[in-house]
Structure 1
Amino acid sequence: MNNLNRDLLVLFNQELMSPQAIEHEVGLLHELLYDVERIDNLVTAHEVINLNKYIVTNKYKDVREVLKQTELRPFIFLNNKN
């Protein structure tokens, strides 16, 4: 697993945890985020609402195409199903 360069703000009570324990917790958090941020999991958890065509779709191909776009067209929304 690659260590991604990301900025995380993690608040711990330093009096209760040693630096090694904090590093361990941050490592576990990185593993969790690595699994959650996979494209397959994102596609499963979202649907596309297209108000231009008045459709709501959760088809794998359609959601994946929208997730790959850097900027969404007007009135096309990504909705988290959770």
Structure 2
Amino acid sequence: MKTGNRDLLVLTKYEVPDPIAMEHEVTLLNNLLFTVENLHTFCIVNEIIDVNRYKIIQKPYRIQQMIRERSIKPFVFIFNKN
């Protein structure tokens, strides 16, 4: 499994954390984030608002197409559904 190179801030309730427990926690977080962070999930939780055409694009394959375009027109926004 590929481990991503990322910066994580892990807050604990213990003043001096156990290094083995902290390493285990970071490994679990990396595994969780590896399964969740992908293009398909990104396209499901976001939508594109095109103000030029007055359209909201929600289909994942259309979002992928628009993200991969080299030049994006002004007033086209990626909007998180949350």
Aligned to 1:50: 50
What is the aligned length? Answer: 82
In structure 2, the residue matched to 1:31 is 31
**Identity within the alignment, %:** 39
Matched, 1:80 2:47: no
1:13 Cα deviation from its structure 2 partner: 4.3
The answer for unaligned runs of 5 or more in structure 2 is: none
**Paired residue secondary structure (1:78):** strand
Q: CA deviation at 1:52?
A: 1.1
Letter in 1 for 2:37: E
CA RMSD, Structure 1 to Structure 2 (Å): 2.2
The superposition leaves residues 18-53 of structure 1 with CA deviations (integer Å, 9 ceiling, x where unpaired) of 111111111111111112211111111111100111
SS of match in other structure, 1:65: helix
TM-score normalized with structure 2 length? 0.80
Distance 1:31 1:68, change over 3 A: farther
CA distance in 2: counterparts of 1:71 and 1:53, whole angstroms: 16
* AA at the equivalent of 1:37: E
Residue aligning to 1:63: 63
Counterpart of 1:48, as a letter, is: I
The TM-score normalised by the length of structure 1 is 0.80
